[in-house]
Structures are given as C-alpha cells and as structure tokens.
C-alpha cells in the first residue's frame, strides 16, 4: 500500500470543514477534546455510508446466486488470531521520538532517518508494535481472559465455513460476504477517515477449487474496479495495481489493489487477494476440525478450497466519494458535492417558495409522497437561493420548488444540481421524472 502522508492538502482540509458544517462527520467525543483518528457519522454522513453499504450488499449478495451473507461477532476466541497469524505477524515497525514522544511507522519515514520529522529530536531504536486492540473477557479481573477486538472480519467467515456449508446448499465456487467493524491500533493515522482505528469493512471470501486461483483473482479484481466506477467515481482516478512480492501479506501469494488518486497520491480502496488454502488449513491444524468441502457433483470428493478475497473499506469509499465529487463552481459562486444520485444522502429536496398562500400544504404533501422512495428533505428556511446552496453542498441532486404557478397549473420547478437546468413538471409526473434521472 502507498504510504500516507500527514494531512496538509487544501482539498482534504476543505472536506473536513464541509463535512462538519453539513453534518457528515464529527470527531468522536469532540466536547472532551476528541479521540485521534476516531470519527462519528452525522445525519448526512450516516445516510451516505448506509447507501454505500446497501449498494455493496445488493451487488455482492442479493443480486448473485453464488454468494451468501453472514454477520460474525466482533469478539472471537483468541486462538482464532493465533491460527490466522495475526498474533505472530500483525506487527508494524515503530519508532518513538525521545523528545516529543511522537510515534511513527518506520516504513513511513525516509530510509535511515534518525531524527523526528516534527521536532528534530532523536528517534529511539525501532520496536515491533502489534496492531490488535487487547481487552478482557470475564466478570472478575483475576479470572478474565485476554482477547482481541477483531482486526479484520475475514476470520469470522473462515471459522464459520463448515456451519455455512452444512446449512446451505452451496456449490463451488461460492462466496461468503459480510459487513462489519474492525479495529486496528494504528501507529500512524491521517488524511481524515482514510486511516482510522475503528472502521468498517466490506469483505467477501470466494471459495474455489485449488488451481483456479489466477482465473478468479483476475475476475474479481476487474469486478471490484468496475463496482467503484458504478458509484460515479471518475475512471481516470482509479486503477488496478498488482502487488510486488515484497508487499504481499503472509497469507497471500498474489494481490491486486483498487487504488484512487487522492491529492497525496494513489492509495488503496480495496484489496483482492489470493489467500490460497492458508486460512482454512491453519484453522484445521489448530482446531482439529475438518473444514472441508464435500463435492457431491464429483463423487463426494473432499477438498480444502482455495480462497480469493475481496476486502474494501467503507470509510475509505465514503472519503473517495467526497473527494471525487467536491467541486468549486466559481462561475456560480457555489460549492457542490456532485455525488451520484444512488449514493447521495438525499435524492431530492422539496421547497415551498413562500411559507404562505397554500404553498406549504402542497409542498408538504409532495414531500410525504416522495420521502420513503427517494429519501427526501423538506426545507422552508431562508431564501430559495440559500436553500439551493445548502443542498448543493449536501450533494442533493434534485430540488423541487412549489411556487405561485404551482397553485395555478399544478406544475413544480425541478432543478438539476450539476447543470442548474430548471424545468416545469406536473405534480403527478414528479415521481416518474425522478425515476428517469436517478436510474
């Protein structure tokens, strides 16, 4: 993965300001000074994030016959992390400044650096730092068992492999997908929500016959790249990059990253990895359980499937959508989030031009008719121009204004966020007009 520099880019700073101003994201526990690299999603942010997750689930599970879903617990038996290799291998080299006590990942510093980038103090000798959060399970301190908050969701799939196979009529190849929180005690965080200590993953493990690894790795790499394009992200900002051998994780024999070009360079949105039979074999060896697939279509052959994994970050996807859609429309003196309608927090906003003369009643009824299907927003505050600008910053693609003409001929003004085109639409044709534009 490309290293991430500290946040010092105008676009990122503007995004931080906009998302706080419009209620997308807040620093966690802000009234107490906040927690570094932990964020809360506000009213607009949670809608954007939920849209991303819903689209992923629809495209990866609901729309496919070969993938089923599950939701594993965050807390797992500590032997899971021994088998997966996280206890032994999930380390980053860390150095600490003797003067200011700042900590850095060694691989994020220039080679042979001996001084702190911030205060120029002396850096101590590197230490290996395990990224997993420890906690304790038990009613008393003396009898408590040391466990970990999961650093990935994938292991919940692997340890449930036999449960899923025995309870569902799946055939190779098939996938198991899940969405969920993961936790990593990162040494170096930064660039807003790109690298945080608490985050959500969208992961899928695709179980295949050993020997078919290359075919399915290429298939899923291109599928996942195209999925990000389908969210409206600019194609020229996306790329697939194959890992060099020295980049590969301990479980992987080949890997692609879907990367996006942020202001600080290309960085990973999703990894597509050939995990081979590593995970199931490790759990077989440590647990003593037979995590095999019995292929009834081939005479009852028993095999340990290989795995191709797709692992994307929800929060990184949200950040990418925000960064990619941010537009300063200088000609019209406005800031716009040109979000694809499918991911926008609100699809449409409804405004009565004046809060009198029967307009609010018509506007309110239209809003109630649309809100469940289109996630609508209703606003009566301020001039119509200010209301438009607020929705432009929120990424709302369409606005409907009820005015004097509405009371005469039952038509409303439909305004397009990006082009600023305004047309008249009959009240009974509004839903159809929105369907045509949002599809």
The per-residue pLDDT for range 292-331, each reduced to its tens digit, is: 999 887 877 899 999 999 999 999 999 999 999 999 999 9
The per-residue pLDDT for range 382-394, each reduced to its tens digit, is: 999 999 999 999 9
Q: Mean per-residue pLDDT for 112-141?
A: 83
Q: DSSP labels for 335-401?
A: EEE---TTT-S-SEEEEESSSSTTHHHHHHHHHHHHHHHH-EEE--SS-HHHHHHHHHHHT--EEEE
Residue 6: predicted pLDDT: 40
Residue 193: predicted pLDDT: 87
CA distance linking residue 37 with residue 254, whole number of Å: 30
Among residues 352, 437, 346, the alpha carbon closest in space to that of 394 is found at: 346
Q: Tokens 């010092």 identify what position? A: 8
Return the beta strands (E) in 28-130 as ranges: 39-41, 67-69, 91-96, 103-105, 127-130
Q: What is the band of 108 on the pLDDT scale with cuts at 50, 70, 90?
A: confident
Residue 296: predicted pLDDT: 82
Where do runs of H (alpha helix) occur along 22-145?
Answer: 43-57, 78-84, 86-89
Give the chain's domains with CATH numbers. Answer: 10-77+152-323 (3.30.930.10), 346-438 (3.40.50.800)
Residue 138: predicted pLDDT: 85
Residue 187: predicted pLDDT: 66
Residue 374: predicted pLDDT: 92
Q: DSSP labels for 197-266?
A: SEEEEEEEEEEE-TT-HHHHHHHHHHHHHHHHHHTT--GGGEEEEEPPGGG--TT-SEEEEEEEEETTEE
- pLDDT for 188 beyond 70: no
Strand 103-105 and strand 91-96: the pairing is: antiparallel
Residue 264: predicted pLDDT: 86
> pTM score, two decimals?
0.89
CA distance linking residue 117 with residue 121, whole number of Å: 8
Weakest-pLDDT range from 75-89, 170-184, 198-212 = 75-89
CA distance linking residue 183 with residue 196, whole number of Å: 8
Among residues 439, 405, 401, 403, the alpha carbon closest in space to that of 422 is found at: 401
Question: For the chain, how many residues are written?
Answer: 439
Residue 252: predicted pLDDT: 83
CA distance linking residue 160 with residue 166, whole number of Å: 10
Q: What is the band of 23 on the pLDDT scale with cuts at 50, 70, 90?
A: very high
Weakest-pLDDT range from 2-11, 62-71, 143-152, 353-362 = 2-11
Q: What is the band of 7 on the pLDDT scale with cuts at 50, 70, 90?
A: very low
- pLDDT for 8 beyond 60: no
Q: Mean per-residue pLDDT for 113-141?
A: 83
Q: Report the chain's mean pLDDT, rounded to a whole number.
A: 91
Residue 394 token pair: 């929120």
Distance linking the first and last C-alpha atoms of the chain: 35
Q: Which residues contact 27 (CB under 8 A, 6 or more apart)?
A: 34, 35, 38, 39, 40
Residue 1: predicted pLDDT: 33
The per-residue pLDDT for range 252-268, each reduced to its tens digit, is: 889 999 999 998 889 99
Residue 229: predicted pLDDT: 97
Q: Which residue has the higher pLDDT, 159 or 123?
A: 159
Q: What is the band of 190 on the pLDDT scale with cuts at 50, 70, 90?
A: low
Weakest-pLDDT range from 90-94, 336-340, 425-429 = 90-94
Portion of the chain with pLDDT greater than 90, in percent: 73
Greatest CA separation for the chain = 78
- pLDDT for 123 beyond 70: yes
- pLDDT for 2 beyond 80: no
Weakest-pLDDT range from 157-166, 182-191, 234-243, 360-369 = 182-191
Residue 22 token pair: 């419009």
CA distance linking residue 206 with residue 68, whole number of Å: 10
Q: Mean per-residue pLDDT for 349-366?
A: 94
Cβ 325 vs Cβ 337: under 8 Å:
yes
Residue 3: predicted pLDDT: 35
């Amino acid at each position: 993965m490309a290293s991430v520099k500290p946040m010092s880019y105008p676009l990122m700073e503007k995004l931080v300001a906009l998302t706080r101003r419009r209620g997308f994201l807040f620093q966690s526990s802000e009234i107490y000074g906040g927690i570094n690299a932990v964020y809360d999603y506000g009213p607009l942010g949670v809608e954007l994030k939920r849209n991303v997750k819903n689209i992923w689930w629809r495209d990866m599970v609901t729309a496919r016959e070969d993938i089923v879903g599950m939701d594993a617990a965050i807390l797992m038996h500590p032997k899971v992390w021994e088998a997966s290799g996280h206890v032994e291998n999930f380390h980053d080299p860390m150095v600490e400044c003797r003067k200011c006590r700042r900590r850095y990942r060694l691989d994020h510093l220039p080679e042979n650096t001996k001084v702190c980038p911030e205060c120029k103090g002396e850096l101590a000798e590197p230490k290996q730092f395990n990224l997993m959060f420890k906690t304790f399970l038990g009613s008393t301190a003396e009898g408590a068992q040391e466990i970990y908050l999961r650093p990935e969701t994938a292991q919940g799939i692997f340890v449930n492999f036999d449960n899923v196979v025995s309870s569902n009529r799946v055939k190779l190849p098939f996938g198991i997908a899940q969405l969920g929180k993961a936790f990593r005690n990162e040494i170096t965080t930064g660039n807003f929500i790109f690298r945080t200590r608490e985050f959500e993953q969208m992961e899928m493990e695709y179980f295949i016959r050993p020997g078919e690894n290359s075919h399915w790795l290429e298939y899923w790499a291109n599928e996942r790249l195209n999925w990000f394009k389908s969210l409206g992200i600019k194609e020229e900002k996306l790329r697939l990059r194959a890992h060099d051998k020295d980049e590969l994780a301990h479980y992987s024999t080949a890997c692609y990253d879907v990367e996006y070009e942020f202001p600080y360079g290309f960085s990973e949105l999703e990894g597509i990895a050939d995990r081979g039979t590593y995970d199931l074999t490790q759990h077989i060896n440590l647990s003593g359980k037979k995590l095999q697939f019995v292929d009834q279509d081939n005479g009852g052959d028993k095999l340990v499937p290989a795995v191709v994994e797709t692992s994307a970050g929800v929060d990184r996807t949200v950040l990418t959508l925000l960064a990619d859609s941010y537009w300063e429309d200088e000609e019209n003196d406005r800031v716009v989030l040109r979000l694809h309608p499918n991911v926008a927090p609100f699809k449409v906003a409804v405004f009565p031009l004046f809060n009198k003369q029967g307009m609010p009643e018509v506007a309110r009824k239209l809003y109630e008719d649309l809100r469940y299907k289109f996630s609508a927003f209703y606003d009566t505050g301020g001039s119509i121009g200010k209301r438009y600008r607020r929705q432009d910053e929120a990424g709302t693609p369409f606005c409907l204004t009820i005015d004097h003409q509405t009371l005469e001929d039952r038509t409303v003004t439909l305004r397009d966020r990006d082009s600023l085109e305004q047309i008249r639409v009959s009240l009974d044709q509004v839903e159809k007009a929105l369907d045509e534009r949002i599809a």
